[in-house]
Structures are given as structure tokens and as C-alpha cells.
Amino acid sequence: MEKKNVAVVMGGYSDEYEVSLKSGQLIFDSLDRDLYNVFKVVILKDEWYHLNENNEKLPIEKGDFSVNLGNGNRLKFDVCFNTIHGKPGENGELQAYWDTIGVRYTGCNFYQSALTFNKKDTLAVLGKYGIPSAKSIYLRKGFNIDAQQVADELGLPFFVKPNQSGSSLGISKVKDITTFDEALDKAFTKDDEVLIESFLNGTEVSVGVIDYKGKIIVLGITEIIPKTEFFDYEAKYEGLSEEITPARLSDEIRTKVEEVAIKAYKSLGMTGFSRSEYIIMDGIPYLLEMNTNPGFSEASILPQQARHYGISIKDLCGNEVEKALKK
């Protein structure tokens, strides 16, 4: 059987590109060379290129996402393995582009990607399916809101988040209304829309849900114990958190979390990898957000959950490629 050409697409336009490069490297290293020819493709704001075995940059032809190798030879990809966190790989832009030019790719489709990258829209849609979330206020840049009004409505502390951003970039926990304006300014550096959410005092868990060999499964539930104020960028990527897989939950609560997580996944028509964050308060899992291109470095939660479940990274990644080939 002829090997398929797989492009592991990494990088991106946001501050998350360094995380994406690490995710891409693990997937590049893990894909089965007996089945696939594997290539690195890096997408940055200023350049799209294939990085060959000699670390030479060969430009991507955007008309068909191919590479001119010279001497009349052209490299075309059977599947793009999307490992970009943030824009343009996690907000639907790349998916829409690949759909337009007829290139197959891993993960969810354009709509699910665009929706889940928008926190307020995700929570609003899933709320219609009965999935609870924190009490919240939305604010667009250029509009004003009184800090005391927010505190009266949501209580203290509360969180200020960019509506469309990942890796907890731009998020602040506001304990005193005097720091509210500073928190808004920080969030608005990442997005023109801000989500202000009430504080949920409970156990934070990260839930991996995937479709694997034709079945939707909960890959794992990981308990998050940040050493910082909350599960921010430093806690996620610089070791400032304790991550316990499986989470220390009763059987009753674990079952409830699994049911809610699978319901959210199915309700959005999801495919591919997902990792969702919940706060369990008074026995109820409250959804914070869903990530459709979660971190995939050695230290990331989803690979940890896969290993605990008993699925190798090679099999996990291979499953994604095989699904994409059938699109």
C-alpha cells in the first residue's frame, strides 16, 4: 500500500505558537513511518513553509497547499494534521481554507472550530442543551461598565477573560474593584470582546473527549490544582500546577462529569480531539470552555490522559489521520 503524505501543521498567529511547535513536534515524532510520509509545515503571519529534513524553508503554495520541490516535482499532502493553537487553526480560518481548496484535515470542522473558539457563543449554545456555566457579563471594546455594578451582579472575586484567546492568556482574577480597569485593559490586548464571569468555588477538572475507532469516549478526567491564583499560562506550561489523573472524584460525580462532557461534545457535532474545563461545585459540573486543538506536548494533559487510558500516542494520532482520509 502506498504511503500517504501527512503534513503536521504547526505555528500560528498568536502568542501560543511556541506551544504549538512543541505539540507539532510530538505528533511529528509519533506518527507511524510504516504508514505515512510525515512532513513539517509551519504557518506564521509572515510566512507559510515546509521545513525539510535539512531545516530548509520551502514556501507553501497557498493555491493548493503544496510545495514546489524544483525540477518539476511538487509535494502534495493527503492529510493536514492541524496542531495550531489559537488563530488561524483553532478558530475555523484554516478549516474553511482547506475546505475551499479540497484538502483533508484532522479535527473538527469549520463551524465547530469557530464556535468553540468563541467562549460566550459556546456557553450560550450549550446552555440551550442544559449544560450549566458561570453567571457572566459580555463587554465589547468601546463600551463602558461600572465595576461596582459588575461586583453587585457577579460577586467578588470574578474573572475577566478575552472572549477569543487560548492558553489562559489575558485572564485576570479580580478580587477588588479597584483592579477592574487594569484587568479589562489586559483582556482587551487579546480580543475586542471580553467575558466577565462569576467565581465558581469548587474542584477544577480537565476532561478529554475524543472519537476513537468509531466511538466517543472520555479519555480521562484530570484534577487541576494550580499553585497560582488560577490555571493560568504559567500553571499550564511552566509547571506551576499539580495535575492528577484520574481526578479524585466519587463514582457518582465522575459519572456525572463524563455524561455532561459527552453531551457537550455530541451537542456541538464535534469530531477529533477536545479538552474541556469544568468547575465542580455542589456536585454540578459547570463548563468553562472547550478546546478543540488542546496542547499536545509531552507535558500536556491530553497525552497524559491517553497514556492512562491505555492508548499510545502513535495510535491516537494515527486514528486522527485515518478518520481524515475518509472525509
Neighbouring C-alpha atoms within 13 Å toward the C-beta of 236: 20
**Residue 232 above 50 pLDDT?**
no
- pLDDT for 306 equals 96
Q: What angle do CA 60, 73, 13 make, to 5 degrees?
A: 10
Task: At 124, list the grid cell.
Answer: 450560550
Q: Which helix (H) or strand (E) holds 186?
A: helix 180-188
Please tell me whether the overall predicted TM-score, pTM, comes out greater than 0.85 for this model. Answer: yes
CATH topology for the 136-198 domain: Dna Ligase; domain 1 (3.30.1490)
**Residue 229 above 70 pLDDT?**
no
Q: Where are the domains of the chain?
A: 4-106, 115-132+201-292, 136-198
Instruction: Tell me what the mean pLDDT of segment 248-272 comes to.
Output: 98
Tell me yes or no: is domain 115-132+201-292 CATH 3.30.470.20.
yes
CA 186 to chain centre: 21
- CA 327, CA 324: separation in Å to the nearest integer? 5
Place 235 in a pLDDT band, splitting at 50, 70 and 90: very low
Place 169 in a pLDDT band, splitting at 50, 70 and 90: confident
Picking from 56-60, 73-77, 187-191, 304-308, which range would have the lowest pLDDT averaged per residue? Answer: 187-191
- CA 155, CA 152: separation in Å to the nearest integer? 6
Q: What pLDDT digit, counting tens, does each position of 79-96 carry? A: 999 999 999 999 999 999
| Nearest by Cα to 81 from 61, 112, 103, 114 | 103
Instruction: Tell me what the mean pLDDT of segment 176-190 comes to.
Output: 93
CATH architecture of 4-106: 3-Layer(aba) Sandwich (3.40)
Pair type for strands 193-198 and 203-212:
unpaired
Q: What pLDDT digit, counting tens, does each position of 100-139 carry? A: 999 999 999 999 999 999 999 999 999 999 999 999 999 9
